Structure 1
Amino acid sequence: MPHLLLLSFATLLIVAVLISERAHRTVLSTAVLFLLGGFVLGDGMLGVIDVAPGDPLVDLLAQLALFSVLFTDGMRVAIADLRSAWRLPGRALLLGMPLAFAITAVVAHYVAGLPWLESLLLGAVLAPTDPVFAAAIVGREEVPGRLRHVLNVESGVNDGLALPAVLVLLGTLGGERASGWVLFEEIALGVLVGVMVPLVVVRLERLPFLKATENLQPLVAVSVGLLVLAICLVTHANLYLGAFTAGITLASAGPELKNEFERFGELVTELLKLAAILVFGALITPSFLFEDIGLSGWIFAVLVLVAVRPLALLLAFAGSALPRRERVAAMWFGPKGFASVVYGLLVLQSGIPPADQIFHLVALVIVLSIIAHSSTDVAVARQFP
Structure 2
Amino acid sequence: MPDLYIIALAGLGLLVLLVAWLPMVLRRAPLSLPIFCVFAGYLAFSLPGAGPAPFPMWFPVATERLTELVVIIALMGAGLKLDRPFGRRSWRQVWRLLGIAMPLTILVTATLGWWWLGLGPAAALLLGAALAPTDPVLASDVQVGPPRSGEEDEVRFGLTAEAGLNDGLAFPFVNLAIAAALAAGTADAWTGTLAAWVLVDVAWKLAAGAGIGWVAGRVLGWATFRAHARARLARTGDGFVALGIMLLVYGLAEMARGYGFVAVFVAALVLRAAEREHDYHDTMHAFIEQAERLLMMLTLVLFGGVIAQGLFTALSWAEVAVSVAVVFLVRPVLGWVSLIGLSWPRRDRALIAFLGIRGIGSFYYIAYALNHAPFADGAQLWSVVGFVVLLSVVVHGVTVTPLMRGLDVQDGRSLDR
State the TM-score, normalized to the length of structure 2: 0.77
The 3 A distance-change label for structure 1 pair 192 and 45 is farther
- Note the alpha carbon deviations across 1:195-222, whole angstroms, 9 max, x for none: 3333333344423363235343644433
- The residue identity in structure 2 corresponding to 1:324 is R
* Aligned-residue offset at 1:360: 0.8
Q: Is the 8 A contact 2:75 2:136 kept in 1?
A: no
Secondary structure (helix, strand or coil) at the match of 1:319 reads: coil
Question: Which residue among 294, 297, 300 is the counterpart of 1:277?
Answer: 300
Q: Counterparts of 1:1-385 in structure 2 under 5 Å?
A: 7-42=10-45, 47-48=50-51, 50-53=53-56, 54-55=58-59, 57-77=62-82, 80-83=85-88, 85-130=90-135, 145-174=153-182, 180=196, 184=201, 190-205=209-224, 206-208=226-228, 210-212=231-233, 214-216=235-237, 218-231=239-252, 238-253=259-274, 255=276, 256=278, 258-285=281-308, 287-289=310-312, 291-350=313-372, 351-381=374-404, 383-384=406-407, 385=410
Shift of 1:332: 1.9
- The answer to whether the Cα contact below 8 Å between 2:181 and 2:375 also exists between their aligned partners in 1 is yes
Q: 2:82 touches 2:157 (CA, 8 Å); kept in 1? A: no
The farther-off stretch of 42-51 and 102-111 is 42-51
Mapped to 2, the partners of 1:310 and 1:285 lie a distance apart of 29
Amino acid at match of 1:31: P
Structure 2 unaligned blocks of 5 or more: 184-192, 411-417
Q: Does structure 2 retain, via aligned residues, the 8 Å contact 1:43–1:49?
A: no
Match of 2:307, as an amino acid?
I
Amino acid at match of 1:161: L
Contact 1:194–1:228 (CA<8 Å) still a contact in 2? Answer: yes
Change (3 A) 1:105 1:234: closer
Residue 190 of structure 2 corresponds to none
- Deviating more after overlay: 130-139 vs 95-104: 130-139
Report the CA distance shift for 1:376/1:133 in structure 2 as closer, same or farther (over 3 A): farther
Pairwise CA distance, 1:312: 0.4
8 Å CA contact 1:40, 1:46 repeated in 2: no
More deviation, 30-39/53-62: 53-62
Distance 1:303 1:273, change over 3 A: same
Please say if residues 174 and 352 of structure 1, whose CA atoms lie closer than 8 Å, have aligned partners that are also in contact: no
Measured in 1, the distance between the counterparts of 2:349 and 2:124 equals 28
Residues 135 and 377, structure 1, Cα contact 8 Å, conserved in 2: no
Work out the percentage of aligned pairs sharing the same amino acid: 24
Of 352-361 and 84-93, more deviation after overlay is shown by 84-93
Looking at structure 2, the residues matched to 356 and 334 of structure 1 have their Cα atoms a distance apart, in angstroms, of 25
Residue 284 of structure 1 aligns to a residue whose secondary structure is helix
> For 1:78-117, what per-residue CA distance to the aligned partner results, in whole angstroms no more than 9, with x for missing partners?
8824456222233222222222222212222222222232
* Cα offset, 1:47, TM superposition: 2.7
CA RMSD of the aligned region, Å? Answer: 3.6
Contact 1:70 1:240 in 2 (8 A): yes
Separation (CA, whole Å) in 2 of partners of 1:342 and 1:44: 28
Displacement after TM superposition at 1:230 (Å): 4.5
Distance 1:67 1:131 in 2: 9
Tell me the secondary structure at the aligned position of residue 233 of structure 2.
coil
Cα shift at 1:73? 3.0
1:296 CA displacement: 0.5
Q: Residues 27 and 374 of structure 1 are in contact (CA less than 8 Å); yes or no, is this contact kept in structure 2?
A: yes
Residues 353/9 of structure 1: CA separation in 2 closer, same or farther (3 Å cut): farther
Residue by residue over 1:318-344, the C-alpha shift from the partner in whole angstroms, topping out at 9 and shown as x without a partner, is 232122222222222222123223323
CA positional deviation for 1:354: 1.6
AA aligned opposite 2:353: M
Greater shift in the superposed pair: 307-316 or 270-279: 270-279
- The structural deviation recorded for 1:315 is 1.7
State whether residues 280 and 341 of structure 1, in contact with CA within 8 Å, keep that contact through their aligned partners in structure 2: no
Quote the Cα distance in structure 2 between the aligned partners of 1:10 and 1:276: 15
Query: Which amino acid counterpart does residue 370 of structure 1 have in structure 2?
Result: V
**One-letter amino acid matched to 1:369:** S
SS where residue 112 of structure 1 aligns? coil
**Partner SS, residue 31 of structure 2:** coil
Deviation, structure 1 residue 362: 0.5
Amino acid at match of 1:304: V
Name the CA distance, whole Å, in 1 between partners of 2:228 and 2:107. 51
Greater CA drift, 333-342 or 52-61:
52-61
Give distance in 1, aligned partners of 2:210 and 2:92.
25
Which residue is equivalent to 2:415?
Answer: none
